[in-house]
Amino acid sequence: MDYKKKLEEAGALLEGHFLLTSGLHSDKYIEKMRILENPALAEPFINRMKELSPETDWFVGPTLGGAIIAFELARITGKRGAFAERSEHGRELKREFAIKDMDKIVIVDDILTTGNSIAETIKAIDKGKILSAVVMIDRSSDKIEIDIPIESVFKLHIKNYQPEMCYLCKKGVTLTKRGGKK
């Protein structure tokens, strides 16, 4: 399966000059909603995530994309899905999800950049045993400091630039803001 080609065909891999949530600049951007809006297109990615997941009771993802993925994985495995929403202090499981002390949990998300959403989701979970995290696309460039194994369907090498080091800024290319707090 050529996952990168699938992204390109869906118009999910954009080229330009982007300001990321982290404040860094990049010449590529993954518009994940082009995948998640289309279940038929998302299906092979979700199926691969299932293969990468250990046996679990729950899939838990950060909003918004992670919530959709958690639901899909729960649906195809007959397990349960939950999501961690933004709160004043990172993230929170707000909906009285019935996670028990002995339950196994796999954390899922769409795109891994800094690992921040996964770290916040781990912090939000106060019951059960977290086994690992599985993401759709790993576009991280720095080492992720998280104590659980992280698997990805595929890795995409996208360089991020500090604004003062950005070659597109030097060329005067218009900067587009993408992403944001979800």
Nearer to Zn ion, 25 or 80 (CB): 25
With tokens 């995948």, the residue in question is: 35
Q: Binding residue for Zn ion (CB under 5 A) from 168, 178, 179, 182?
A: 168
Least Cβ distance, residue 161 to Zn ion (angstroms): 6
Binding mask 116-155 for Zn ion (x = CB under 5 A): ----------------------------------------
- The amino acid occupying position 110 is D
- Closer CB to Zn ion, 10 or 175, in the complex: 175
- Interaction between residue 169 and Zn ion (CB under 5 A): yes
33 binds Zn ion (CB under 5 A): no
Q: 3-class SS at 68?
A: helix
Residue 24 as a binder of Zn ion (CB under 5 A): the answer is: no
How many residues of this chain bind Zn ion (CB under 5 A)?
Answer: 4
> In terms of Cα–Cα distance, which of 115, 144, 149 is closest to 130?
149
- Interface residue with Zn ion among 20, 25, 66, 133 (CB under 5 A) is 25
For residues 24 and 129, give the distance between their C-alpha atoms in angstroms, rounded to a whole number. Answer: 34
Burial of 64 (0-12, 13-18, 19+ CB in 10 A): middle
| SS3 at position 50 | helix
User: Of 2-10, 33-41, 143-151, 159-167, which segment contacts Zn ion by CB under 5 A?
Assistant: 159-167
- Shortest gap between Cβ of 164 and Zn ion (angstroms)? 9
SS3 content of the chain, % helix, strand, coil (to 5): 30, 30, 40
Minimum CB–partner distance for residue 117 and Zn ion (Å): 24
Give the SS3 label for residue 151. Answer: strand
Question: Residues interacting with Zn ion, by CB under 5 A?
Answer: 25, 166, 168-169
